[in-house]
Amino acid sequence: MRIVLPGDVVEIDASADSIESKPQKNDAIVIGPGLHVAPDSITALKAGLLVSNPPHHYIQSSQRRYIPSTSEPVLGVVLASMRHLEAYKVDIGAPHTALLNFYAFEGATKRNRPALEIGTVVFARVAVAHRDMDPEIECVAPNSGKAEHFGVLKDGFVFKVSLAHARRLADPKCPLLVALGERIAFESAVGFNGRVWVKSGSPRATVAIVNAIQHWESAVDRPREVAKVWMNRLVPQA
């Protein structure tokens, strides 16, 4: 990682033949927030740390407001049903509410689609992100059309973390979540918009997991120690 400033030209070493704003090929480079792709270069739009975790590349900063970017996973809360648009209005913590089409679910039809109530939590991906339009989200994977890990999240507990911490947690090999999973069974979903959903077998276990995740932000170099401390403190039977 290195520090970049707005306007800096970013060089990314990769064997890919093209640069894509969303993955369409196995070898495509995925450009995330804070970077702008021009025909012959990539430039930084804001100051921060350039993070390269192939195929993903983005700028990590202290930004507090989430700005949607195509293909990013997000946790949203349903605010209203807009029948004239055949879509739900969803809060994803961005400057504008997102639209979730009634049929943006696996196998959804006019007769068979989820009827979401106000307050329902959904795990979705950003399908359309443009500064002059409301973002659009969907609960299906773009390539397969299957739900995979997207959809309605039932029960559990939702809390907020910083945007940078959310990206650490979203890593499939996140050392803290791996360490916690070795000690206790739980489910989790992490949105790049700084929201995390956790579900476990008991409220006591959920509290321990939430505390461990929040504490790890200030102790990122000690994931196993953090997991051990909170599991032993709040869930000694786990």
The pLDDT, as a whole number, for residue 5 is 85
Count Cα atoms within 13 angstroms, Cβ side, for 39: 0
Asked if residue 155 lies in contact with residue 199, where contact means CB atoms within 8 angstroms, the answer is yes
Distance CA 180, CA 65 (A): 29
Provide φ and ψ at 82, rounded to 5°. Answer: -110, 90
The rounded Cα 185 to chain-centroid distance in angstroms is 21
pLDDT digits (tens, 9 = 90+) for 134-189: 999 999 998 888 988 999 999 999 999 998 899 889 988 999 999 999 999 999 99
Contacts of 93 (CB under 8 A, 6+ apart): 65, 66, 74, 193, 194, 195
Distance CA 237, CA 84 (A): 52
Contacts of 37 (CB under 8 A, 6+ apart): 19, 21, 31
State which amino acid sits at residue 10: V
Distance CA 45, CA 105 (A): 33
The pLDDT, as a whole number, for residue 14 is 53
Which CA distances in Å does 229 have to 1, 139, 193, 225, 233?
30, 36, 27, 6, 6
Which CA distances in Å does 70 have to 45, 73, 110, 135?
16, 9, 27, 9
Asked if residue 235 lies in contact with residue 206, where contact means CB atoms within 8 angstroms, the answer is no
The pLDDT, as a whole number, for residue 88 is 97
The pLDDT, as a whole number, for residue 132 is 83
pLDDT lower than 50: segments of the chain:
15-26, 235, 237-238
State which amino acid sits at residue 163: L
